[in-house]
Amino acid sequence: MQFLETVIGVIAAMLTSLSYIPQVKKVWAGQSTEDLSSRMLIALTSGLVLWVVYGAVKADWIIIAANVVGASLTGYVLYHKLHERQRPGRASMKHG
Protein backbone atom coordinates (compact mmCIF):
# COMPACT_ATOMS: atom_id res chain seq x y z
CA MET A 1 0.00 0.00 0.00
CA GLN A 2 2.92 2.35 0.70
CA PHE A 3 4.08 2.01 -2.92
CA LEU A 4 0.62 2.95 -4.23
CA GLU A 5 0.51 6.01 -1.95
CA THR A 6 3.90 7.10 -3.26
CA VAL A 7 2.88 6.62 -6.89
CA ILE A 8 -0.33 8.60 -6.36
CA GLY A 9 1.64 11.34 -4.61
CA VAL A 10 4.23 11.54 -7.38
CA ILE A 11 1.60 11.69 -10.13
CA ALA A 12 -0.39 14.34 -8.25
CA ALA A 13 2.79 16.32 -7.63
CA MET A 14 3.77 16.20 -11.29
CA LEU A 15 0.35 17.26 -12.53
CA THR A 16 -0.07 20.16 -10.12
CA SER A 17 3.55 21.32 -10.28
CA LEU A 18 3.72 21.37 -14.04
CA SER A 19 0.26 22.81 -14.65
CA TYR A 20 1.66 26.34 -14.69
CA ILE A 21 4.07 25.69 -17.56
CA PRO A 22 1.78 27.32 -20.18
CA GLN A 23 1.99 30.64 -18.30
CA VAL A 24 5.75 30.29 -17.91
CA LYS A 25 6.09 29.66 -21.67
CA LYS A 26 4.01 32.76 -22.36
CA VAL A 27 6.22 34.93 -20.14
CA TRP A 28 9.40 33.32 -21.51
CA ALA A 29 8.25 34.22 -25.05
CA GLY A 30 7.91 37.85 -23.98
CA GLN A 31 4.12 38.01 -24.07
CA SER A 32 2.22 40.27 -21.71
CA THR A 33 1.11 39.08 -18.27
CA GLU A 34 -1.73 41.61 -18.23
CA ASP A 35 -4.41 38.90 -18.23
CA LEU A 36 -2.95 37.27 -15.09
CA SER A 37 -4.06 38.42 -11.64
CA SER A 38 -1.28 39.72 -9.38
CA ARG A 39 -3.29 38.82 -6.29
CA MET A 40 -3.81 35.28 -7.51
CA LEU A 41 -0.12 34.87 -8.29
CA ILE A 42 0.88 36.24 -4.88
CA ALA A 43 -1.60 33.99 -3.07
CA LEU A 44 -0.63 30.92 -5.10
CA THR A 45 3.12 31.43 -4.74
CA SER A 46 2.76 32.12 -1.00
CA GLY A 47 0.61 29.02 -0.56
CA LEU A 48 3.13 26.87 -2.42
CA VAL A 49 5.97 28.18 -0.27
CA LEU A 50 3.94 27.30 2.83
CA TRP A 51 3.43 23.80 1.42
CA VAL A 52 7.21 23.50 1.14
CA VAL A 53 7.51 24.43 4.82
CA TYR A 54 4.76 21.95 5.70
CA GLY A 55 6.51 19.23 3.69
CA ALA A 56 9.75 19.97 5.54
CA VAL A 57 7.99 19.73 8.90
CA LYS A 58 6.46 16.40 7.85
CA ALA A 59 9.72 15.28 6.17
CA ASP A 60 7.74 14.43 3.02
CA TRP A 61 9.96 14.75 -0.05
CA ILE A 62 7.03 14.54 -2.48
CA ILE A 63 5.32 17.56 -0.92
CA ILE A 64 8.60 19.44 -0.80
CA ALA A 65 9.66 18.67 -4.38
CA ALA A 66 6.26 19.33 -5.93
CA ASN A 67 5.83 22.64 -4.23
CA VAL A 68 9.39 23.85 -4.82
CA VAL A 69 8.77 23.30 -8.53
CA GLY A 70 5.34 24.96 -8.39
CA ALA A 71 6.57 27.92 -6.33
CA SER A 72 9.49 28.40 -8.70
CA LEU A 73 7.23 28.44 -11.75
CA THR A 74 4.61 30.75 -10.26
CA GLY A 75 7.32 32.90 -8.67
CA TYR A 76 8.92 33.36 -12.10
CA VAL A 77 5.60 34.49 -13.58
CA LEU A 78 4.88 36.72 -10.57
CA TYR A 79 8.31 38.35 -10.84
CA HIS A 80 7.67 39.22 -14.48
CA LYS A 81 4.12 40.37 -13.73
CA LEU A 82 5.33 42.81 -11.07
CA HIS A 83 8.17 44.10 -13.25
CA GLU A 84 5.90 44.47 -16.25
CA ARG A 85 3.61 46.74 -14.20
CA GLN A 86 6.54 49.03 -13.44
CA ARG A 87 7.61 49.52 -17.06
CA PRO A 88 6.33 52.81 -18.44
CA GLY A 89 4.21 52.75 -21.56
CA ARG A 90 3.29 49.08 -21.25
CA ALA A 91 -0.46 49.69 -20.87
CA SER A 92 -0.59 52.16 -23.75
CA MET A 93 1.04 49.64 -26.09
CA LYS A 94 -1.99 47.38 -26.03
CA HIS A 95 -4.26 50.15 -27.33
CA GLY A 96 -1.81 51.48 -29.89
Does the pTM of the predicted model rise above 0.75?
yes
Report how many domains make up the chain: 1
pLDDT of residue 89 exceeding 70: no
Q: What is the residue-averaged pLDDT of the chain? A: 88
Q: Are 70 and 17 in contact (CB under 8 A)?
A: yes
CATH number for the domain spanning 77: value is 1.20.1280.290
pLDDT tens-place string over residues 45-63 = 999 999 999 999 999 999 9
CA distances from 79 to 58, 60, 89 (A): 29, 28, 18
Tell me what the mean pLDDT of segment 75-84 comes to. Answer: 93
Q: Give the range of the structural domain holding residue 36, as residue numbers without chain letter.
A: 2-95
- What pLDDT, in 10s, does the model give residues 11-57? 998 998 889 999 999 999 999 899 999 999 999 999 999 999 999 99
Taking every pair of Cα atoms in the chain, the longest distance, rounded to a whole number of angstroms, is 60
Of 5, 9, 31, 14, give the one whose Cα is nearest residue 68.
14
